[in-house]
Every structure is written in C-alpha cells, then in structure tokens.
A and B are shown apart, each in its own frame.
Chain A
Amino acid sequence: MQEIKFHGRGGQGVVTASQMLGLAYFKGGMYPQCYSLFGGERRGAPVVSFLRVDQKKILLKCEIKNPNQLIIFDASLVDPDEIRKQVVPGTKILINTSKMSDVIERLRDFTVGIIDASCIAENLRLGHVINTTILGAYCRLFESLSVNKVIEAVMEMVPAKKSENAKAVIEGNNRVTLIKGRR
C-alpha cells in the first residue's frame, strides 16, 4: 500500500492534486482513499492532504502518519527534522522549488525529485495553481502511474484551462530532476 502525503498552502491546489491523483489511480483499477486536513480554508494557510492506494479495499479509517511518498508544494514548509520523523525507509520526496542546491543540501539523505513547478505553471498562465505540474513530475519520480491516466483525471476534474493543465502535466513530467539519496 502506498501512503502519500501532500504539503502545501491554500491556493496551490493541494487538495485537488490529491484527489486527481486518487482518481488517476482509480482509473487505473486501483483502490485509492483520499482526505485532507485544513487549518483554515484560505489562501496561504498550510494544507495537508493524504492519499492511500492499494490493490484491494482499504479498511484503515485513520491518518497517514508514516508516508512512503511525500509531495511538497512549497519548499518553505520543508523541515528536514520533521520529515525524518515521519518517513519510512525508502520514502521518496517530490519538491517544488527554484533553489535546487539548497534542497539537495538539506535533504541529502533522501531520494528527491525536484521540479520548478511554480515557474512552469506561471508560464502556462496557471498562476499559483501548480498541482497539475506536480502530478506530471510525480509520474516520473514514482513510476507507479502512467502520465496518460493523470491527464485523464486532470481533464475530468480541473474546472478551467484544461489544455494548459494538460500541458503542465507533460512539462512537469519532462522537467523533473531526480537525485538519489543515501538512505
């Protein structure tokens, strides 16, 4: 079972990202289970979203405490100590940042996918909504889901700018940088 945790801020499309990824897995015949925790539903506030994926029905009705996949929408939310407390051996981290060297330094233990999703989304006129770019990068890093399934889910769920979002998935998938960690 994959346990995926999303960290981000209100307005970046974190909740929708987890739901779209869940839908993509669902379309791929898997059993996903997705939920989110909100501090306050407003832009800029930290948001955490969760997704479990398994081949059979998931019975757990509790929180994900030790994710084996971590997706970070905002590098300012990265606290290596906090991450070390949560993750299990082999956890991979996908992170949105424009300062690659900084992240590599701080997360040198982990296998990390680095994507400048904010830049890609901005160029596609998607503003702060970087979720579709992130999902494209996700497919490359975790290799458990095809880009086409993600695009299918994106087309079904995004309310506007469908073609821009589809492009964002592909861009994200192409432009993610993978760095193998020591752990």
Chain B
Amino acid sequence: MSLPDWLNPEKIIPISRGSTTVFKTGTWSGNRPEHREKTSPCRAACPAGNNIPDALFAASQGNFDDALSAFLEESPLPGVCGSVCYHPCETYCNRDKWDGSVHIRTLERAAADYGNAIPIPLANSGERYPVAVVGSGPAGLSAAYHLARMGHPVSVIEARDEAGGLLRFAIPLYRLPQGVFQKDLKRILSLGISINTGEKVGTKKLEEIRAKSSAVFIASGAQRSIKAEIPGLDLEGVLPGLDFLQKVRRSVLTELPGKVVVIGGGNVAVDAARSARRLGADKVEVVCLEQRGDMPAHEREWSDALEEGILFHYGWGPKRFLGKRSRASRVEFAGCTSVFDSKGRFSPSYEEDESLMLDADWVILAIGQVPDISPYRASPLAERGFVQTDPITLATTWEGVFSGGDFVTGPRSVVEAIAAGKRAALSIHCYTLGKPFSEAEERTLLGDGPGFSIHSFFHPREGWDPKSVVRFEDIESLCLDQEARRSLGRLSPVERTTGFHEVDIPLDLREAVQQAGRCFFCGTCTGCDRCFLYCPEVSLLPPDENCSFYRADDAFCKGCAVCAAVCPRGVMTMGEVK
C-alpha cells in the first residue's frame, strides 16, 4: 500500500543524510584555537622554577617516580625543599582563590619520599669542560648537579668534613631529618660529582683551581655570625647563633641546662631558641630589636616557637652581658625605638632610660650572618670589600669565576640558593661554549622571571609559552569541585619538645595522591579531552602518533572558541589562522 505524501516518512520532515563535511567551514574563519601550554603561578613564583604541575599530575595518578623526576628537572633537592621551603608556590596557587591552596611543599616531600628517579641528563654539545665548585651548600650542590647533568666534569671543594653546608650543619633536625637530605645528596653524587672535603679555599688555591678548570663557582654561603661590639661578649656561655646550631647538629651540645636568652629576630634566632628548648633549657627567651610585625623570621616558625613555650621580647637591643666568675649570668637590654634610619639603612636607635634585665646561663647571639670573604683578601673578588657579580650571569669581576647564593646576597632561603646554583650552571655552560647567557635565559624565563627552566632549555617543550602565567580567571571553574585545603598532621608541642623529631608529619601515600589531585594543573594539558568532547564541529583533534597535542582541523574549525572556554586549565587559547 502506498502512503500519501503527507504520511510518507521520507517526505514529511526534512532529513539530511548527506555529510556536512562538504562545507569547509574552517575556511570562513580567521580564528583558531591553539594548544598553548602556559606557566602555572606556583611555578612562576618558585625561585627554582620547579615543574609543579607535571609533578603533581604524576602524583595524582599515584606515580611518584615521575613526580620526583619532574621535580628533579629543575632542582636537586626535592626532599630538602619539600621539608624546609617557605613555599611561595602555595602563596600564589590559583586554588587559593577557590578553596585553599594545594599542599605543594608537602607533596614535593612526598615525591622525594615515595619516588625513585634518576635525573634526566641535559642534552649537551658533546663538549665537556671541567668546572670547580667551592662550597657544598644548596647553591654549590645545585650548580654541580646541573653542570653534571650537562655532562661537564664537576669537582666540589668543601671546607668542612662533610658536604651539605647549612643543610648539614645548621638547619635543625626537627625541620629537616638527616635521612631526607642524605637521600637527595646521594642522588646528586650519583651523577659522578667528586667532593673533596676538609679543603679550605683562599686566593692562592682559587688561582690553582682556575688554572685547571674552565670555570669556577664560589658558593661559600654567609657563615660568619655578626659580632656586635657589646661589653661582655667573651664571657663563657655566649655563643654565636650559627656556631650554636652547628654544635647541636654535630652533637657537641646535647643538653642545655638553665636559662637561655637568644638575641635576634631572624630564622637563625628562632631555630636556636627552638633547639635550646629541645636541649632541655629551663627557660628560653628571644629578644629582638624589631616589633612583633617586623621580625624577619617566618611567621610559622615564630608561632611554632610560641606553642613550644618560648617567650619573646620585642623592641630591645643588647647593651651588655654581665657575668659571674667569667660566665654569663645576665643580659641588659635597652629599649629600641627604631631599627632603620630615615634612608632605610640598619641603624638602631635606643631609649637608654628604658632597660630590661634578663637572667641567662646561655646567651645565643643570632643578630645576623655575613659572607666571609677574608680568604680572598688579595684577589680581584675582594676589591670592593664584597663579592660583586653580574645579577644575570653571576660572573664576578674575575674572568672565569662565578659566584652566587648567600655568599653574594647574604643570608636568603634554601630555594634561592638552589636558584642561584642553577643560574650559575647554565651561565657557566654558555660561558664555556662562548654563547651569550641572556639569550638562553630569555628563552626559558618563567613568567616575568627571575626563575627560568633549565630543563626546557635543553628539552624544549613544544607549544609551551613559559612567559604566559595562568591567572585564576583563566581556570574554567564550572568543572571544579569544592574540596577545601586540609590542615596537615603535626606533632603536638609536647611531642615536639621531647626531642628533635620532625614537626610536620609527612603525608602517607594515599593522602598524597588525594592532595595532589586538588591541583588545577594550571597551564598544563592533562589530556582530559574536554576540548575534544565539547567541540561542536568535532574539529578539534586529540593527540595521535603524528602530533603530541590537541589542534584544530583547519578545514572545519569555525573558530567558535568553545574549546578555549571549556579548557579547565587555560591551555586552549584563541589565536588567528596562521
């Protein structure tokens, strides 16, 4: 039976069985999405330029070997940084604007704890130049590590009997367990770096080394405690801050009976006070020039110290040490009205009428540390009384000699020292090859710098724009869950002060995977396929054997920007047809 037209299924409604592929709609548009990876704000904020998104993505998949490998791209000391870094990354984390930043520092530590990885070699020209590094603190180790990855033979000279500088002899164990540092150190040395310990370097020695090497990097740190001209300084029981910390780390001092007064408002002072507490001091008091809000010590260290029962006196400067039978017994302080002069220079002024008298069996003087350039007195390095370097290349005025870290800047953080070592390594590499460093730096600068990626200089990442930093506004928040930042496990103040146990309890494996999963992976494609799935024209092609990233099919892409709008991490970006 034949149907009338008005009932004929093939006639009553329009149905197209042709293909719209005949319409090359892509040729009508001038816009094209580009797969443009960008830099995450955490990475841009990290002085070491750590590849945090790749590391945390691997961790979120439970792959801590790859997580560690990603951290090792830029830094030799993930275990150390994962324990002690003041984590500017977390301050700039985009998730902070959502429901609390990701626990990046603790996850770096988890990568170091649970992962095993060999640092990826940095492809090199095949030419090998011997380089000497003076000092095995974080700056020296960092320079040695990266230079060795490039294939250069590196020898490290260390004045002390063991490598590590302040990592080994200053930072208290409750912040950095020895095993964590040793694991990092072992990995660094596995690159074939030789370390000569117990060898002091001065002008003469440096000349010798220079003659045998293509370049030298001096990273001797800032280890000389400032000694103020205060009456009674030589009394027994008065100790410089770094010396005190070193004695504790060497187990020379294992107990500290009596009352302890620590002078100074910086991190060394707080480390000293908290160590004194753990050595069984009856009373520990910290006295500093600054008012509470102006103390240079990190907030967290200060509040931990308070919890541990340490008393703080703000706005006092030491006037004199009083003793009994050549041993310190009291300290007198004068009220400090201002720390800096009108030009911002350190120049405390006192109100002599006001005074504070504290009983003290021990006085730890931690009022600052400076580089000790006395060994180089007769060299071009010491011409100006301090080591002068080019801030970009870290070259000193002495041809072939580079310097960086605390030795140049005065005391800074571990991560800044690591950054200086990395900068020196690439700078020296360029110097030995006779190439300008500024070009190399320019290519890999993260955001506005000064951090850069040494790894991507040797292994360029296709489709990555390192200078472009992902803002929170670039994150597609519709796909985000709420999972607030959790506070992590810590020892109670009582547990802490019975010994030098690590205060922050490391993440267990399951927790680490979970916390890593909170990362937005800003600017880094995780292959989530949203752009591919949402493309209304099915014209966004996923990676395949020919191409490692998502790209538009020029024949059909209308440039509608849906892919860019749905990208959760700001990778897909609209551009123009090339």
Do A and B touch each other in the complex, judged by CB within 8 A?
no
Using a CB–CB cutoff of 8 Å, the interface residues on chain B facing chain A are none
Using a CB–CB cutoff of 8 Å, the interface residues on chain A facing chain B are none
